[in-house]
Structures are given as C-alpha cells and as structure tokens.
A and B are shown apart, each in its own frame.
Chain A
C-alpha cells in the first residue's frame, strides 16, 4: 500500500462528515429524495444500502487484482446487483410491508452512485480492511444525511418522528413536505445550511490563523 493513500481510520472518518456522500459529494440523490418522507423507510433504506455497500466493498477489494480496466464498471454493478438481490429478497421475506412501501427504490440501490464510486475509489485499490472501514464510514454518513432529511420532512409534514407524535394535534400538516416538491425544497435548503456552516467554520479558522499573536 503506498503512503499517499488514506489509511483505514481516515477513510472511516472521512465518510461521516468531511466527505459526506450526500452533502459533500452530491451522490446517490434518488433514494435520498424518494424515501425520506418518514423516518422508518429512510432508516430501512440506510441499513439496506449499508449492507450492500460494505459487502460490495469487501468483495471488490478481495478480487481487485483480477479486475480488467475496461470491464471494471460492469463487474462492480454485477457484484452490487447480486447483493441487492439478496437484500431485496430478505426485505420481502421479513419486512413485507416495508418492502412494498419502498417499491422500486430497493432494486435502484444497484445504480446508487455512492456504491460504485466507493468501489472505484477505495475498494479497487486498497485492502479488505480499509475497504470495510470505508464502507462503514460512508454508510454512516449516508444514514446521517437520510436521517437529517427525513427528520425535517416527517416533523413538518406529519408532525411525528418515527411514527411518534411530537407536535400538537392542531399542527397544520405541511402535506407538501411529504410530496415530491417538499423533498427538493428540504434537500436544497439543508444543502445550503451545510455549505453555510462549513464556510463559517473556514472563515473562523482563517481568522484564527491571521491573529497577530
């Protein structure tokens, strides 16, 4: 392993906030927008994606010496498709209602750009342990992003969180937040917020560096 590549720990930390897949890299937008109307489907999606991401990362990392450059992407997608099939059947067997509610978005994990980009960037060049840590870190980052979006949408849209009523009954449900426009608005504004916070922190750091003493 060359010294320029990030270590397992760095990969793990990077996935959560500094290179958060949604807010920093803007990858994997379609499940993010589609399943975050409430917390439950969002968390099911996060766990399914985490399983596929970690398993695919491990598998690709184990066969990385056999990969041919021109067939790389196809091998990635086929590996991912296999694990997605496992996830899909598992959900249909044990969480039938949830699998109905998620509908096509479980199979669409196959074309989730996060997983393909992690296979390409990390698993295809580094060992299984690093790839595993990278997968866990990225999944946590993805889960965090899904949770933040779903929290905003569920609380505003139906006044509840994980199905528990939080706001008083008089709360006028912002139905638009559960429908498709609300997903775009919420993600756009949260993205703006994330940018604003990171810019503030950068400015503060720059100011500290320029202090005279």
Chain B
C-alpha cells in the first residue's frame, strides 16, 4: 500500500506539479515547433512518451547495474581481476555518453516502428521525429533517474523509474496538446505584429505555467487522504 501511494504521488508530481515543459523548461523546442495543430501535437506527445518510457527503462537498467557507485557488474569484474576490495568503482563519468546512445537507439526503434505501422503519421512528423533524439525532455528523464540512483541507501526501483518517465511523458503530452488547442484558437486573434509567432506562444506558455503552479501540494494532499483512509 505504501508503495502504491508513493507511485501515485510520483506520477502526479511528474505529470502536473513539476511538469517537464512548464516547470523544468525541457523540450521547449518541440513544444513551440510542433504545437500548431492538436492532432500533430498529440502524436508528437505520444511518440515522446513512448521513447521516454523505453529510454527510462534502459537507462535505469544501465545505471543500476553498471554506472552507479557500488554497481554490481563493475564490482564483480573488479573482483575477478583481483582488484583491491576497498576501492569503489564509480563509472558515472560515462553516463552522459551512454544515455545518448540509449536515446538514439530508442528513437531509431520508434522511427522504424512508426514507419512500418503508421506511414501517414511518419510523413506528418517529417524532421521532428529524428529530432526527438535531441529532445531535452528525454535526457532530462534519464538524468533524474540517475540522480535517484546515486545514493546507495535509498535506491529507486524500476517501478519508480518507469513511473517518472511515463508520467513525465504524459505531462509533456498534456502541455503540448493544451498549447496546440490555444494556438488554434489564437489564429483568429489580433496579436500585435511584433509578438506574432513565438513571442505570443511564450507568453501563453507563461500563463499555462502559472495555472500549473496551482497544482502545488496536491501530492501531499493525496498522502494525507490515503493515511486517513487507511486508519478507517
């Protein structure tokens, strides 16, 4: 039950409270670039969520077994070659390079999948699909997972890592779809000429961010509710 509450809290925190786009400012490029029409925004959001889930899974596996301090695999190799047991092997210096490989591979996989099964969507994405590789949001999810695996006393399990990446991706989808909806309406508005295009989009994003600030504290409220329910 405790785990369940933690997961729910984590999911809500990742999706709305600390929304990747509106709170951490990652993935702004695609947020401004692909948010012209709702259907494209939804497709892009789901593709990012999918890549993020795969990349989150892989980066958790690599970080847990290979990269973190006290990771089992390098420690075993160190033991086999007869190294000094007092030395801790810390390969986290390699993590950024490895994450880039993981993300590039996941994007390649998603690209192949979409090209095979959804050719229409593949054409609609165009250049933006390979550009997911350089989408900050995905690397950000990997880095958050890495941060939680640095301290050996309380490690994140695979469940937490997957929750963060999937719900982070859904939060990104939510933000980009909301933005696309607003921008479709804004086509009919009389925007000052200098602000047209990215300027007004950024200001609208600011208002959205302000609205999302209202979610602060929801995770604690959920915890309290669950504790009260458990007592009954």
Contacts and interface: CB of A to CB of B under 8 A. Distances in A.
Interface of A: 26-27, 29-30, 33-34, 73-74, 77-78, 81-82, 84-85, 88-89, 104, 107-108, 110-111, 113, 116, 176, 179-185, 187-189, 191-193, 195-196, 199
A71 B207 CA distance: 40
A53 to B, nearest CB: 15
Given A27-B29, A108-B143, A193-B194, A84 B200 contact: no
B104 A29 contact: no
Contacts of B195: 188, 191-192, 195
B133 A73 contact: yes
Contacts of A89: 93
Given A181-B209, A184-B206, A185-B203, 14 more contacts: A29-B29, A30-B25, A104-B24, A104-B143, A180-B23, A181-B206, A182-B206, A184-B202, A188-B199, A188-B201, A192-B192, A192-B194, A195-B199, A199-B193
B205 interface: yes
A27 B30 CA distance: 11
Given A73-B133, A183-B25, A81 B97 contact: yes
A165 B53 CA distance: 45
18 contacts: A29-B25, A29-B29, A30-B26, A77-B134, A89-B93, A104-B143, A108-B143, A176-B210, A181-B210, A182-B206, A184-B205, A188-B200, A188-B205, A188-B206, A189-B203, A191-B195, A192-B195, A192-B199
9 tightest Cβ-Cβ pairs between the two chains A and B? A184-B206, A188-B202, A29-B28, A188-B203, A196-B194, A33-B25, A195-B194, A192-B195, A181-B210
Contacts of A77: 100, 104, 133-134
A10 B110 CA distance: 40
Interface string B199-221: 11111011101100100000000
Interface of B: 22-29, 32, 93, 96-97, 100-101, 104, 130, 133-136, 139-140, 143-144, 147, 192-195, 198-203, 205-207, 209-210, 213
A193 B101 CA distance: 40
A13 B166 CA distance: 43
Nearest to A179: B213
A88 B97 CA distance: 13
Given A82-B97, A191-B198, A192-B195, A104 B104 contact: no
Contacts of B198: 26, 188, 191
B83 to A, nearest CB: 23
Contacts of A180: 22-23, 25, 206, 209, 213
B201 to A, nearest CB: 8
Contacts of A81: 96-97, 100
Contacts of A181: 206-207, 209-210, 213
B202 A107 contact: no
A185 to B, nearest CB: 4
B96 to A, nearest CB: 5
A70 B100 CA distance: 16
Contacts of A33: 25, 28
Nearest to A180: B209
For A89, A111, A116, A188, the residue with the greatest tally of chain B CB atoms inside 10 Å of its CB is A111
Contacts of B139: 107-108, 110-111
Q: Count chain A CB atoms within 10 A of each CB in B29, B32, B136, B213 and give the residue with the most.
A: B136
A193 B199 CA distance: 9
Contacts of B199: 188-189, 191-192, 195
A200 to B, nearest CB: 9
Contacts of A199: 193-194
Contact of A183 (B93, B134, B147, B206): B206
A33 B140 CA distance: 15
Contact of B202 (A34, A85, A187): A187
